[in-house]
Amino acid sequence: MQKRFVSIWFRHLTTDWLTLRRPALKELPFVFAAPERNRIVITAANALAEKQGISVGMAAADAKAIVPSLEVIDEIPGQADKLLKALGEWCIRYTPLIAIDLPDGLILDISGCAHLWGGERAYLGTIIKLLRSKGYDARGAIADTVGAAWAVARFAKVKPIIEPGGQKDALLSLPPAALRLDSLILERLQKLGFYTIKSFIGIGRSVLRRRLGQNFLVRLDQALGNADEPLQLLQPIEPYHERLPCLEPIRTATGIEIAIKQLLENLCRRLEGEGKGLRTAILKCYRVDGEIAEASIGTNSGSHHIDHLFKLFELKIPTIEPALGIELFTLDAPKVEDVLPGQEVLWSPEGCGLDDVALAELLDKLANKVGASSIRRYLPQEHHWPERSIKPARTLQEKRATAWRTDRPRPSLLLPRPERIDVMVKLPDYPPNFFIYKGEKHTISKADGPERIEREWWLESGEHRDYYYVEDQDGQRYWLFRLGHYSEETSPQWFIHGFFA
Amino acid sequence: MPDSKQDIISKLRKNILHWEGFRPPQAGNAGTFGLGAIEAAFPNGVFPVGTIHEMLCPAPEQTAATAGFIGGLLAVLMKKGGACLWISTSGKLFPSSLMAFNVEPDRVIFVDLKKEKDVLWVMEEALKCEGLAAVIAELQDISFAQSRRLQLAVESSKVTGFLLRTDTRKVGTTTCVARWQINSLPSELEDGLPGVGFPRWQVDLLKVRNGNPGCWQLEWKDGSFVPIEEKAAIAETYVRKAG
């Protein structure tokens, strides 16, 4: 389709905004100024000030000398960006594809939009008229390329709508600054005597590249339509988005259920056709009173299974507050991934392994109710330090990289933090005779050890642990350790770290 | 006539067992748990799978012993490639230890929860998932109604469930097929060698539906259960008439 772009130029963006905030400034010449290299430089001037010969880039002191009544206001950093964002969001009613063009413009991709307003002339007229009636001094232009629209909006003295394919003719009479070039290149062009684009457009590309650099050629190509110019959109488009407007506001759980089912059906049909599955989905319910109720779900692996996804949303329905009623449901899938079509098995396996769909769906359901962080699977890690010998697996299918160690006894229960115990030890480097844990005395009858585990000095500092596998008089088995060495003055501390089967 | 009456009664008994979920032993499947005399305590002489077992473990030492015992059972249950869910509020189970019981710890999914209420919900949802090898849940207490919900879930899915009950002060009736208590026993080494021997447990089967409660001693040795024979006589004294 033929691409068409609108470039809107706000000639006095920040000053117009301040005039709207403080109507008293309407009759006064005023400027915004900011310190730059030890002097105060004007960054924006309103129309009245410009009429009296004040321009951007002038020192504030000079401007004051020209117009003694000039009001100098400190610049608000980031204000232009904020204003453009707000204006861009307002413009979304005209086209969904809007990009900010700092410092003072907007770019609208209007391909296929203008006919709704009765042609491009009426379309541009509507936008500009509305913006002007709001108090912003805006100029706009329509062309096939962003570059051409930008140039025409700012520099052309003719009609602002360039016919399809006519951007070259439109650009010819414009100054080189219309190509969005660096000041350095502009200065060089000025020195060479190129005052209009016409004067250098016919020169060979290699010559231009040698004199003015690659960037110059890119800008020229973008303006002429020989090179693509990607836009950074204000609101990136959700590729998977479903809407369901309701005739009557919906207030019941049953109604919400039906709405979710319909949305899922449409979304899943599309996902299935494209061989994709969703990982996260966000349901937004626009209420009559202007509030938006949200519910989101996540899955372990891409899914386009309607029943399963509906079950996940079913858990969230009680959290959706319909209040006076919901008039619009939207369903977004911001994260999707490729799903391999499941291979049919001739004999269904008796067990449900980790890559089974039923298990993945169960875990999705659990994760959406109790939180994904509480569901863990562990893989071995090559560390001797017990707390670091396991690591949580990132995905359900992740395979272990190293084997589980079985050469050393490890307790069935491991305390999250080792707990202090009081012990009686006859000889250093021997297991204790008895220990007292939680007020109970355990006399040790059998013991294995010590197994010395050094702290990993490249990860943390501290003393080593000497582990003993001990059994008390009742046959209960424990994992105790001694922290550090014996020394002249102090005896090391003992801890209990686990319970053996 | 008395003969036929006997026949009818035995047939009815069999039917009752069948309706309650006990299946006659299948060829090649029987006795794979290696529990020896313990399996004989159950109806048909088969360790019941696809039902819920209740384990009493008030102290962490008993929880550890129970975890070991369950580990031994899991090794058989997970042989078919199924995964297993371990639900708890304490999160103390150390995955590496399961390897000693021939269970691959990376096939066990741990669910660590904060609320007791969530444990029951997660367990019920998990028990409904057909094909899981086992679902183990640590919780304080369970009421009869709650246990009935779990029972209904396993009846259709045939998943084996284990409940580790930490609060044993008031143990009411539940629908669980068996109630166990596992305690550690002093290990024994041949010839008085130093060190700790193979894990050894006192297994008390306190309650069993349509079976004979009793107590036995077991050892976990070289990857299988080894019943300790000389103490087996105790079991005889506990035998109660079936029915």
Domain ranges of chain A: 5-155, 167-224, 241-338, 413-499
Tokens 């109507």 belong to residue:
A23
Residue spans of the domains in chain B: they are 43-238
Question: Are the C-beta atoms of residues A31 and A60 closer than 8 Å to each other?
Answer: yes
Annotate B149-213 with DSSP letters as a single string.
HHHHHHHHH--EEEEEE---SS------SEEEEEEEE----GGG-SS--S-EEEEEEEEETTS--
Q: How far is B208 from chain A (nearest CA, A)?
A: 24
Q: Which one of A369, A393, A412 has the shortest CB-CB distance to B64? A: A412
* Cα–Cα distance for residue pair B73/B65, rounded to 1 Å: 13
Which positions in chain B touch A416 (Cβ < 8 Å)? 91-92
Give the tens place of pLDDT for each residue, B97-129: 999 888 888 889 999 998 888 999 999 999 998
Q: Do A404 and B99 touch (CB under 8 A)?
A: yes
Q: What is the DSSP letter of A161?
A: B
Contacts of B183 in chain A (CB under 8 A): 475
**Chains A, B: CB contacts under 8 A, how many?**
185
Half-sphere exposure of B117 (CA within 13 A, CB side): 2
Distance CA A216, CA B102 (A): 69
Say how far apart CA A327 and CA A259 lie, in whole Å.
11
Q: Are strands A434-437 and A413-424 parallel, antiparallel or unpaired?
A: antiparallel
C-alpha span between A90 and A127 (Å, rounded): 10
pLDDT at A421: 92
Q: Whats the size of chain B, residue-wise?
A: 243
Shortest Cα distance, chain A CAs vs residue B3, angstroms: 42
Residue in B with minimal Cα distance to A381: B96
Contact A352 B132 (CB under 8 A): yes
Output Rg (C-alpha) for chain B, integer angstroms. 18
Q: Amino acid identity of B166? A: T
pLDDT tens string A448-490 = 878 999 998 898 888 899 999 999 998 899 999 999 888 888 7
- CATH second-level architecture of A5-155? 3-Layer(aba) Sandwich (3.40)
CA distances from A365 to A56, A278, A314, A432, B147 (A): 60, 15, 10, 48, 21
pLDDT tens readout for residues B166-217: 888 888 888 888 999 999 999 888 777 788 888 999 999 998 888 888 888 9
Determine the Cα angle at B36 with ends B32 and B41, to 5°. Answer: 105
- Tell me the pLDDT band of A117, cut-offs 50, 70 and 90: confident
Which pLDDT band, with edges at 50, 70 and 90, does A53 fall under?
A: confident
The architecture that CATH gives domain B43-238 is 3-Layer(aba) Sandwich (3.40)
Q: What is the pLDDT of residues B59-92, one digit of tens each?
A: 999 999 999 999 999 988 888 778 899 999 888 8
A167-224, which class in CATH? mainly alpha
Best mutation target, A350, A354, A499, to test chain B (most B CBs within 10 A):
A499
- Rounded CA gap, B126 and B162, in Å? 12
ipTM: 0.84
Contact B186 A405 (CB under 8 A): no
Spatial distance between the Cα atoms of A361 and A341, rounded to a whole number of angstroms: 16
The two tokens of residue B230 are 């000389």
How many angstroms separate the CA atoms of B142 and B133, rounded?
22
**What pLDDT score does A162 carry?**
83
Task: State whether B184 and A475 contact (CB < 8 Å).
Answer: yes
The topology (CATH level 3) of A241-338 is Dna Ligase; domain 1 (3.30.1490)
A19 contacts: CB under 8 Å, gap ≥ 6? A25, A26, A46, A135
CA A478 to chain B, closest CA, distance in angstroms equals 8
Task: Report residue A431 CA to chain centroid gap.
Answer: 56
Q: Which residues, listed in sequence order, are joined to residue A392 by a DSSP beta bridge?
A: A378
Q: What is the pLDDT of residue B123?
A: 93
Residues contacting B83, CB < 8 A, separation 6+:
A351, A352, A353, A354, A356, A359, B107, B108, B109, B132, B133
Q: How far apart are CA B240 and CA B214, in angstroms?
A: 9
A433, exposed or middle or buried, with CB in 10 Å at 0-12, 13-18, 19+? middle
Per DSSP, the three-state class of A478 is strand
Backbone phi, psi, residue A181, to 5°: -105, 165
B200 CA to chain A: closest CA distance, Å? Answer: 8
Preferred mutation among B26, B61, B120 to probe A, highest tally of A CBs within 10 A: B61
The distance of B241 to chain A (nearest Cα, Å) reads 32
Question: What pLDDT score does A78 carry?
Answer: 84
Residues of B with Cβ-Cβ distance to A477 under 8 angstroms = 61, 64, 184, 187, 196, 199
Select the residue of B68, B78, B129 nearest A501 (Cβ to Cβ).
B68
The position carrying tokens 């012990």 is: A423
Instruction: Tell me the chain A residues in contact with residue B194 when contact means C-beta distances shorter than 8 Å.
Output: 446
